Structure 1
Amino acid sequence: MLAANSTKILAGGWIPLLAAGLVLTVMVTWHRGHQNLVTERRRMEDSLREFVATVREVRRIPGVAVFPHPFPDTTPLALLRCVESFGVLHERVVIVRVVIVRVVAAGLPHVRPAHRIQVRHLGSTADGIVHVTVTVGFLDAQDIPRNLALAVGHGPELDVDLDAAHYFISVLALLPPHAHPFRSWAQRLFLALERNQADRTEVFHLPPARTVVMGSELPS
C-alpha cells in the first residue's frame, strides 16, 4: 500500500506532508523552548518560603501589590526586582496563581465562584504576604481582579482595597542569539513564537494604568 500511494507524493501529495512537517516543527520547537525557559526561570527565582523569611528588614510602603505567578513554590521575578532595585515592598503583597482545570465536575467547563479560591498564608500573617490560587474552568475568564475579589476578607492579609491595587507582571526577556543563523534557526523560531504570545495584561483583565511589567533578561 505504501508503494502504491508513494506515487501520489510527486503528484501533489507532498503539500499536506510539508504542511504537517511545518506544524510539527513549530510545535516541537515551542515545547522544547518553553520547557527550557521554565527550567531557567525557576533557577533564577528564589524559594518563596525563604524569600518571605528574609523580607522582615525591607522597608514597607503603603498599598497593595498583586503578582500573577504560575508556580506555587518560587518567588515572582517582579517581586525580587522590587526588593533588589528599590529596596521597598508594599504593605500587602498578594501572589496569585491561576490554575486552569480542563475537566470539571459533571463535565461542566466552569468552576463555581465558591470553589475558585484557595488561600495559603506564608509564615506569619504579620508579614503581609499571602498566596492565592485561583482555579477556573477552561471556559472561564482568567480575570484576576474579579476572582481575587472573592478572596478579600479571608484573613488580615487579604483585608485590601483591590480598586487601588497595583499589578506586577514578571517577564524573562530573551535576547537574540549570536550564533550562526543556520545553527540558531530553532532559537529564532522560538523567539518569534514567544513574542507573539497573548498579552497577559489582557488575558488576566488587569487595569493597564495600574499594571507594571518587570523581570530579567536571558541570553537565548
Structure 2
Amino acid sequence: MTIQKPDKSSGWRGSADLWVDAAYQLLLDGGVEAVKVMPLAKALGLSRTSFYWHFPDREALLEAIVARWEAKNTGNLVARCAAPAGSVCAAVFNLFDCWIDENLFDSRLDLAIRNWAQNDDTLMPRVKAADATRLAAMRAMLERHGQSPAMAATRANTMIFTQVGYYSMRLGEAVADRLDRMPPYVEVFTGDVPTEAEIAEFFARHGQKR
C-alpha cells in the first residue's frame, strides 16, 4: 500500500482529509478490518495524537469514509440522471459517464462498501437506501423520456444490477473497449438506437473519437 506522506503545510496534525484518504486506501486494500489508527499513523508518519485531533475515535473515521461514498457515488449518479438530455439515449449516456469517469463514481469504493456492509448491520441499511435513491433517479430519468413506470423500473434495475456485477467481477476492461460497448448497452437499456451525434458527443466527453 502506498500512502501519501503529509507535506510541511499539514503540520504535525496532518488534516482530516489526509487521514480519510489513507483510511480509504486501507479499506480498498484490506477491507474495513484493516482500517486501524496505528497502521494509519505509521503509514502517514504522524502520531496517534494527531489522529485524535481530527476524529474522536475510529468509528468517526469510518463514518467519514461512508459519507464520502454517499456524497460522491450516489450524489454524482443522481446528478447525472438529472442532467439535461434531448433524448432517452442521451440521458443514459449522461448516466454512463459515471461508469467511465472515476472522478464521478468510484467503483472500487462502491465494492468495498458493499463488502463491508455484508457483515455490518448498521451499514447495510445505508447501502440499501443508496441503491433505492439511485434506482429512483434512474426510473425518473427514463420516465421523463416517455418510458412507462413499469418499463422504467425494469430497465433501472437492469442497469444497476449490470453495473454492480461488472465491477464485482473486476474485469479490468480498457476504457476504449468499454466505450465501444456503451452504444449497444444504451440500445438494450432504452429500446432506442442512439444517433451517431449522441455517440460522438459521449466519446468526446471521455477523450475519445468515434
TM-score of the aligned structures, taking structure 1 as reference length: 0.30
Query: Which structure is higher in strand share?
Result: 1
Quick check: which has more Rg, 1 or 2? 1
Considering Cα pairs closer than 8 Å and 6+ residues apart, tell me whether 1 or 2 has the greater RCO: 1
> What TM-score comes out, normalization by structure 2 length?
0.31
Structure ranking higher in helix proportion: 2
